[in-house]
Amino acid sequence: METYARLMIEFLPNAPDDAWLWFACDSNYDGNGQLIKWMIEQPTCPEAAALAIYWYSGAGFYAQYQTREQVPDHSRDQFDVLQSLQQRFLGGFYRKTAVGFDPRNDPTPIGILERPGYDWVAGEPHAESLPAGVKNALAGTQFGVMNMPEGWVEGMPLEINAVVEQEYEDEE
């Protein structure tokens, strides 16, 4: 397991609920599958973080496929993860908290710091076919990455990011 994933797995169980959401909304989704998989398997994962992971992991794109067999072979694992996440979310598996998330008005600016409010449902033509429960806003404080503490990078607290950066430097 990568240092990054290991340190976050040690950190998140005792982290505030908003930290889970900050990670979900600011993480680099390329290559962090171990940590995402761990997060969505935890009943302690805040509901808002699970819903954010669902959308950030491409739920709107994968909604074009009705069955696993329709999905290209190289994308079936991701389809399976999203199906499992959707089932857990709709089944009430995740922990309700005071932190909210609105997939129709995500306060995290996707690439445009001046204009937060991305609509994940409208942003993908097939997303309307998804169940209402994953398209509706979760009540609660809407924390975006603009609310992350200074020094956090890609959803990681300063101390974890420092260890990861040092490891990268040592490898060079």
When pLDDT is averaged across residues 7-17 and rounded to a whole number, the result is 95
How do residues 48-87 score in pLDDT, each as one tens digit?
Answer: 999 999 999 999 999 999 999 999 999 999 999 999 999 9
Residue 171 pLDDT: 81
Share of the chain above pLDDT 70, in %: 95
Instruction: Please report, for residues 15, 63, 72, 98, the alpha-carbon distance to residue 141 in angstroms, rounded to integers and kept in the order given.
Output: 16, 28, 38, 6
Alpha-carbon torsion (3, 35, 19, 41), positive or negative: negative
The stretch 78-99 carries a mean pLDDT of 96
Identify whether the C-beta of residue 54 lies closer than 8 Å to the C-beta of residue 134: yes
HSE, side-chain direction, 13 A CA sphere, residue 13: 9
User: Mean of the pLDDT values across residues 119-145?
Assistant: 90
C-alpha Rg value of the chain to the nearest Å: 16
Q: Which residue has the higher pLDDT, 20 or 125?
A: 20
Does this model's pTM top 0.85? My answer is yes
Give the per-residue pLDDT at 112: 56
